[in-house]
Amino acid sequence: MKRSGLVFGVMVVGIALLLWAGWHNLRERRLAMQQAQENHVVLVPEKAGSAAQDSQSPEAEAMQMRGKVAPAFTLATLDGKKVSLSDYKGRPVLVNFWATWCGPCKVEMPWFEEFRKQYAAQGFEILGLADDVDAGKDAIAKVAQKTGVTYPILLTDGKIQKAYGGPDGMDYLPMSFYVDKNGVIVEETAGLGSKDEIEAHIKKIVASEATAAGGQ
């Protein structure tokens, strides 16, 4: 009788250990999933509804312009004013490609506006290049107003996407190019990063030193 009771006790302890191990494992998995979600970067194909491209990783593509002089451009604003990258010579500039249908773009745009005001004293500026001009000026203006941005919104011409994204243009949106005071792209990102990551990139170009030969 004592022996059977001992066996029963061992079984109870064993079952309890198994349950604890299962719960612990589930907790660890949940923590890992939570961490992965916090570090998640959203990538949206440039064409709405297009299939994902696997010929080259977005991370690799996002390195192709780093260290190069930012391609020059002159584009029109929503009210027809001509704006050139060279207008901001000697200033840190964030060139951001976005679209009206791009959800992640609309998430980061209020952050951009916040940082624009925060680093205005250092000459920091943002140029928002609307990729889907065919959506119409009214639709583009509506998104800009809804997200609260006051920085220049420029209408792309098809050529600028190729200058920054390659022969096929932009594969992913949003795409951001952080241009320092010498007109050099020091960081390039594809998709939606965290607010802290965006600010870190901005701090890098704001802290850059302009040289006599530099400029957009």
59/139 Cα distance (integer angstroms) = 30
| Average pLDDT of the residues in 190-211 | 92
The reply to whether 32 falls in a domain is no
* Domain that residue 151 falls in: 62-207
pLDDT at 5: 54
**Are 100 and 135 contacting, i.e. CB atoms less than 8 angstroms apart?**
yes
The reply to whether 118 falls in a domain is yes
The reply to whether 162 falls in a domain is yes
The burial of 47, by beta-carbon neighbours within 10 Å (0-12 exposed, 13-18 middle, 19 or more buried), is given as middle
The reply to whether 35 falls in a domain is no
**Average pLDDT value over all residues in the chain:** 80
State CA 208 to chain mean position distance: 21
The reply to whether 51 falls in a domain is no
pLDDT at 155: 98
Q: What percent of the chain is predicted at pLDDT more than 90?
A: 62
Render 147-214 in DSSP notation, one character per residue.
HT--S-EEE--SHHHHHHH-TT--SEESEEEEE-TTSBEEEEEESB--HHHHHHHHHHHHSPPP-TT-
The reply to whether 134 falls in a domain is yes
Per the structure block, which two tokens stand in for 106?
A: 């609309």
pLDDT at 98: 98
29-81, pLDDT tens digit by residue? 444 444 433 333 444 554 444 433 344 444 444 458 899 999 999 999 999 99
100/92 Cα distance (integer angstroms) = 25
62/45 Cα distance (integer angstroms) = 14
Q: What percent of the chain is predicted at pLDDT more than 70?
A: 68
The reply to whether 125 falls in a domain is yes
73-101, pLDDT tens digit by residue? 999 999 999 999 999 999 999 999 999 99
pLDDT at 166: 84
The reply to whether 10 falls in a domain is no
Q: Which residues are catalytic?
A: 105
Higher-confidence position of 109 and 5: 109
Per the structure block, which two tokens stand in for 153?
A: 């919104």
- CATH number for the domain that contains residue 92: 3.40.30.10
- Total structural domains in the chain? 1
184/82 Cα distance (integer angstroms) = 22
